[in-house]
Amino acid sequence: MELLTTIHQMQARAGELERQGRRIGLVPTMGYLHAGHASLLRQLRPDCDSLWVSLFVNPAQFGPREDLARYPRDLEHDLALCRAEGVDGVLAPTPEEVYLPDYAAWVTPGPVAERYCGAARPGHFRGVLSIVLRLFHWTRCRVAAFGAKDAQQLWLIRRMARDLDLELEIREGATVREPDGLALSSRNVYLSAAERVSALALQRALHEGCRLLEAGAAPDTALDFMRRVLVAEPGVELDYLHVADWATLDSLAGTPGRPEWAAGLVAPPAPGQELVVLTAARVGATRLIDNMRPRWGEPRPV
Ligand code: PAF
């Protein structure tokens, strides 16, 4: 497995691979890899001839009071996981090279980036889309995979690929969960034993909310039920909770309140319409997100 640490090395290698007619696949990550990343790699392996992982904790997507400095890092562990998954190459550039002191070019992600996580983390998706576009460019990947757990990120990356006519496929990997339902996240290491138990309320609330929506309940009814589950859980401080249309990410019901951008969007969902229930909450000092995608009025087969 190759390990490249500069953008120039990556561009030269990607050029060679392309000249050899290889189809490059990429899983962009911030490292501290877990089973969720491994499942993205397994999904991508059959669809490319050269499978790459990027490891880069991107400063541009962290706010000034966020956890950039203490974000977990473990290069040896990440390389071992990549080797075990049959990865061909890893790109791990330095922040100094990626962001020159006078770096100034950014992707503007549009209004959907200002909702949900974007409302709590101004500039976050600008940082995400800008680095993702550059990673696509450096690696010349023709297929890239992202986890469904970061639903808004996935949606915005797909929209960027469409709007900027990027010649690549964006694949989605299902959220990988612990046996008790907690969505895997590199940030789970911050949770104490008690907080980890409280964190389970997120998936419990979403699961119940999805059941209600699948049974045809109104978004407001499902939202109210989920909100009660979350506020009743000690140690969980709700940031947002929304039932949205997956095609547009417009909110159909939400807390805190239906924001201005969603005014008038109160039409009931159509039978079979794909929805997404999105939440973010602080559990102790850790901000966790989770989401699920029910189809309205369409119970899942058991
Ligand atoms: O999902 C992540 O780990 C990051 O947001 C990404 C896509 C690697 C961009 O830094």
Same structural domain, 215 and 240: yes
Same structural domain, 168 and 195: no
pLDDT value, residue 263: 52
Give the residue, by CA position, lying nearest to ligand 1 atom 6. Answer: 29
Residue 302 lies in a domain: no
Dump the DSSP string for 41-105.
HHHHGGG-SEEEEEE---GGGS-TTSSTTTS---HHHHHHHHHHTT-SEEE---HHHHS-TT---
Residue 52 lies in a domain: yes
We report the CATH number of the domain holding residue 100 as 3.40.50.620
Same structural domain, 163 and 15: yes
Same structural domain, 167 and 195: no
Residue 179 lies in a domain: no
**Can you tell me which atom of ligand 1 is nearest the CA of 58?**
10
Distance 57 CA to ligand 1 centre (A): 8
The preferred substitution site among 99, 130, 131, 155 for testing ligand 1, maximizing ligand atoms within 8 Å of CB, is 131
Ligand 1 pocket, residues with Cβ under 6 angstroms: 28-30, 58, 61, 128, 131-132, 150, 153
| 103-158 pLDDT per residue, tens | 999 999 999 999 999 999 999 999 999 999 999 999 999 999 999 999 999 999 99
Are residues 130 and 107 in contact, defined by beta-carbon separation less than 8 angstroms? Answer: yes
Same structural domain, 144 and 285: no
DSSP, collapsed to helix, strand or coil, labels residue 51 as strand
Are residues 122 and 128 in contact, defined by beta-carbon separation less than 8 angstroms? Answer: no
pLDDT value, residue 296: 97
Give the residue, by CA position, lying nearest to ligand 1 atom 9. Answer: 128
Number of structural domains (the chain) is 2
| 258-273 pLDDT per residue, tens | 554 455 556 779 999 9
Structure tokens of 202?
């997120």
Residue 181 lies in a domain: no
Same structural domain, 116 and 263: no
pTM tops 0.85: yes
Q: Residues in the chain with pLDDT < 70?
A: 257-266
190: Cα within 13 Å, side-chain hemisphere: 16
Same structural domain, 148 and 277: no
pLDDT value, residue 292: 98
Residue 7 lies in a domain: yes
Residue 300 lies in a domain: no
Which of 112, 145, 173 terminates a domain? The answer is 173
**Residue 274 DSSP one-character state:** B
Please state, as a whole number, how many other Cβ atoms lie within 10 Å of the Cβ of residue 163: 11
Give the residue, by CA position, lying nearest to ligand 1 atom 8. Answer: 29
pLDDT value, residue 81: 98
Distance from C-alpha of 100 to C-alpha of 35, rounded to nearest angstrom: 33
The preferred substitution site among 132, 149, 155, 287 for testing ligand 1, maximizing ligand atoms within 8 Å of CB, is 132
Same structural domain, 112 and 146: yes
Same structural domain, 64 and 156: yes
Give the residue, by CA position, lying nearest to ligand 1 atom 5. Answer: 128
Q: Which of 37, 77, 124, 207 is catalytic?
A: 37
Clarify whether 37 is annotated catalytic. yes
Q: What is the span of the domain harbouring residue 22? A: 2-173
DSSP-derived pairing of the beta strands 24-29 and 143-147: parallel
Distance 45 CA to ligand 1 centre (A): 19
Which of 114, 141, 173 terminates a domain? The answer is 173
Residue 73 lies in a domain: yes
